Structures are given as structure tokens and as C-alpha cells.
Amino acid sequence: MEGIMINKYQSTVTEVGAEAEIFFSENMMVIFNDTAPADLRTIGVIHKEAHLLEDVEAGDVLEVAGEAYEILFVGSKVNDTLKELGHCTIMFNGEISADLPGTMTVEKKLLPNVTVDSEIRIVKK
């Protein structure tokens, strides 16, 4: 049996913005909860409002649509923006740093196939 996973954040996708594909093609995903204004919804993956139960840290695992990605770097604003807006930018690039404080980086793998009803979770192993 694997170690206990602690859920830090869990939500369900309600909408995939019409322009989100532009970011996907750059190995990026921008997430917002469903309180996001209309002009941000077009670029984002929108999910139900959820509570961040514990700060996200490098070494945690991001699960999106059944795919798991090790989190390598968490920008200084990621936990704040997740709490306030369910927002962060996720880079699927394998880097251990990012220029913008609202960015989280994860291991470089194919992006998940995100659709309405996909789950987004952040867990601590």
C-alpha cells in the first residue's frame, strides 16, 4: 500500500476557455475558479471554487484529468492566488524556477486532456 496522500486542493473543471488552447500549445495551463471575470475565462481552465487546505510546495503532486505531475517549483504568489482566485499558471516544462511569482512548474510531460468535469487535485505524498 502506498503512503497516505493528503489532499491540499481539489476541484472540478466547469469550463475550458476558447483561447486556453493557445497556452496549451506553449506547455502552459492557466487555472481560475468560477469567480473569474469574463475576460479571463477565455484564456483559462475554469473550475469550481475550492479551498486551499495547505500551502503547495515543491515535491507535491498535481493531478489533472487523471494525469500526475510532480511539482518542481512554486512561485512566491501561487498559494495566495490559489486561495483568493483558484488561480495559478502551470508550466509543464521541467524547470525548477519561473520568472513570474504566480507560476508553478511541473515535470515535463504531455499536457493532460482537460475537459469539463476533469478533476484538478494537488496532493502531498
Mean per-residue pLDDT, 72-100? 97
- Whether 98 has a pLDDT exceeding 50, the answer reads yes
What is the reported pTM? 0.95
Q: How far apart are CA 34 and CA 37, in angstroms?
A: 8
pLDDT of residue 125: 81
To the query of whether residue 47 is one of the catalytic residues in this protein, the response is: yes
Q: Categorize the per-residue pLDDT at 4 as very low, low, confident or very high, splitting at 50, 70 and 90.
A: confident
| C-alpha–C-alpha distance, residues 49 and 83, integer Å | 9
Q: Is the pLDDT of residue 2 over 90?
A: no
What pLDDT was estimated at residue 6? Answer: 92
Distance of alpha carbon 27 from alpha carbon 110, whole angstroms? 8
Over residues 54-73, mean pLDDT: 98
pLDDT at 1: 44
Average pLDDT on 79-95 reads 97
Catalytic residue among 8, 41, 47, 124: 47
